[in-house]
Amino acid sequence: MSTNSRWRALTHHHLFWPVAVLVFLLLVNVPFTPDFFSVKMTGGHLYGSLVSIVLFGSPLILVAVGMTVVIATGGIDLSVGAVVAITGALACSYISHQADQNALSGVLLAMGLGLLAAVVCGLWNGFLVARMGIQPIIATLIIMVAGRGVAQLITNGQIITINSDPYKLIGGGYWLTLPFSIFVVAVVVAVTVALTRRTALGLLIEAVGGNAEASRLVGIRSRRIKIMVYVFCALCAAVAGLMISSNTSAADGNNAGLWIELDAILAVVIGGTSLLGGRFSIGGTVVGALVIQTLTTTIYTIGVPTQTNLVFKAAVVIVVCLLQSPKFRAKVFGAKFGARFGAKGGAKPAVAETDTAASTDAAPKMEVS
Amino acid sequence: MSATTQSPTAVGSRTPSKAQRLLGDRRLPVAATALLFLVMYGVGLGRYQYYGFDEPQVFLNLFIDNSYLLVAAVGVTFVILSGGIDLSVGSVIGFTTMLTAWLVEREGLPLLVVIPIVLAVGAFGGFLMGYVIHNFEIQPFIVTLAGLFLFRGLCLVISKESISISDSAVSSMAEAQVSLGMGFLSVGAVVSLVVLAVAFYVLHYTRFGRRVYAIGGNEQSALLMGLPQGGTKIAVYTVSGFCSALAGLLFTLYIQSGDPLHATGMELDAIAAVVIGGTLLTGGSGYVVGTLFGVLVLGLIKSIIQFEGTLSSWWTKIATGVLLCAFILVQRVMTARKKT
| B-interface mutation test, from A76, A143, A259, A318, most B Cβ less than 10 A away | A318
Residue A343 lies in domain: 325-369
Whether residue A138 and residue B275 make contact (CB cut-off 8 A), yes or no, is yes
Whether the predicted pLDDT of B155 surpasses 90: no
CATH of domain B32-38+57-329: 1.10.3470
pLDDT band at A353; cut points 50, 70, 90 = very low
Is A211 inside a domain boundary? Answer: yes
Mean pLDDT of A256-278: 82
pLDDT at B245: 94
% of residues, chain B, pLDDT over 90: 29
> Counting beta carbons within 10 angstroms of the beta carbon of residue B14, is it exposed (0 to 12), middle (13 to 18) or buried (19 or more)?
exposed
> pLDDT per residue over A4-33, tens digit each?
777 777 767 777 777 888 888 888 878 877
The rounded distance, in Å, linking the Cα atoms of A17 and A26 is: 14
Q: What is the spatial distance between Cα A44 and Cα A21, in angstroms, rounded to a whole number?
A: 32
Q: Are B291 and B194 in contact (CB under 8 A)?
A: no
Contact B141 A76 (CB under 8 A): yes
What does the alpha-carbon distance between residue B9 and residue A63 come to, in Å, rounded to a whole number?
55
Residue numbers in B near A135 (CB within 8 A)? 281-282
Determine the average pLDDT of the residues in B148-174: 83
Same domain (yes/no): A80, A159: yes
Q: For residue B294, give the nearest of B127, B74, B99, B88 by alpha carbon.
A: B74
The answer to whether the CB of B91 falls within 8 A of the CB of B155 is yes
CA distance to partner chain B, nearest, from residue A42 (Å): 36
* Chain B residues within an 8 Å CB radius of A308: 153, 156-157
Residues of A in contact with B316 (CB under 8 A): 149
Note which residues in 21-50 of chain B have CB less than 8 A from chain A.
none
Does the distance separating the beta carbons of A149 and B321 come in below 8 Å?
yes
SS3 A255: coil
A295 with A329, same domain? no
Q: Mention every residue, 6+ apart, whose C-beta is less than 8 A from residue A189.
A: A61, A65, A282, A286
Q: What is the rounded average pLDDT for all residues in chain A?
A: 80
What share of chain A in percent tops pLDDT 90?
Answer: 21
3-state SS, residue B311: coil
Asked if A208 and A51 count as a contact pair (C-beta separation under 8 A), the reply is: no
Q: Which of A280, A308, A336 is the last residue of a domain?
A: A308
Quote the pLDDT of residue B285.
84
Of A153-167, A199-213, B206-220, B305-319, minimum mean pLDDT range = B305-319
**Both A258 and A357 in a single domain?**
no
Same domain for A179 and A279, yes or no, is: yes
> Which alpha helices (DSSP H) does chain A contain, by range?
2-12, 16-29, 49-72, 80-96, 104-126, 136-155, 165-172, 180-193, 201-210, 212-218, 222-248, 260-270, 282-301, 309-324, 326-332, 334-342, 347-368
Give the distance from residue B202's alpha carbon to the nearest chain A alpha carbon, in angstroms. Answer: 27
Predicted confidence (pLDDT) per residue in B231-252, tens digit: 899 999 999 999 999 999 999 9
Triad B247, B248, B254: Cα angle to 5°: 90
Q: Side-chain half-sphere of B334: how many Cα atoms within 13 Å?
A: 24
* Chain A contact present for B89, CB below 8 A: no
- Whether residues A81 and A161 share a domain: the answer is yes
ipTM: 0.73
Q: How far is CA B275 from CA A160, B125, B302, in A?
A: 34, 24, 18
Confidence of residue A235 (pLDDT cuts 50, 70, 90): very high
Neighbouring C-beta atoms of residue B242, cutoff 10 Å: 24
Average pLDDT, chain B: 83
Q: A304 and A353 share a domain? A: no
Residues A246 and A116 in one domain: yes
Instruction: Tell me which of B25-34, B66-75, B217-226 is least confident.
Output: B25-34
Contact A157 B275 (CB under 8 A): no
Q: Which residue in the set A148, A156, A313 is minimally distant from B149, CB to CB?
A: A313
**CATH for A126:** 1.10.3470
Task: Say what the pLDDT of residue A306 is.
Answer: 67
Q: Pick A251 or B67 by higher pLDDT.
A: B67
Is residue B25 pLDDT above 90, yes or no?
A: no
Q: Let me know whether A234 and A193 are in one domain.
A: yes
The beta-carbon neighbor of A310 closest among B138, B152, B332 is B152
What's the rounded mean pLDDT across residues B156-166?
83
- A128/B56 Cα distance (integer angstroms): 40
- For residue A52, the model assigns a pLDDT of 82
Mutate to test the interface with A, among B91, B325, B327 (most CBs of A within 10 A): B325
Determine the 3-state secondary structure of B6 from DSSP: coil
Query: What Å distances lie between residue A309 and A56, A289, A301, CA to CA?
Result: 16, 15, 12
Count of domains in chain A? 2
Say whether both A109 and A172 belong to one domain.
yes
Q: Please count the other Cβ atoms lying within 10 Å of the Cβ belonging to residue B278.
A: 27
The answer to whether the beta carbons of residues A336 and A357 sit under 8 Å apart is: yes
Question: How many of the other CB atoms lie within 10 Å of CB of A300?
Answer: 12
Q: Are residues A350 and A243 in the same domain?
A: no
Do residue A283 and residue A229 come from a single domain?
yes
Query: Residue A369: is its pLDDT beyond 60?
Result: no
pLDDT at A351 over 70: no
What's the confidence (pLDDT) of residue B24?
Answer: 64
Task: Write the pLDDT tens digit of every residue in A68-124.
Answer: 999 999 888 989 999 999 999 999 988 888 877 778 888 899 999 999 999 999 999
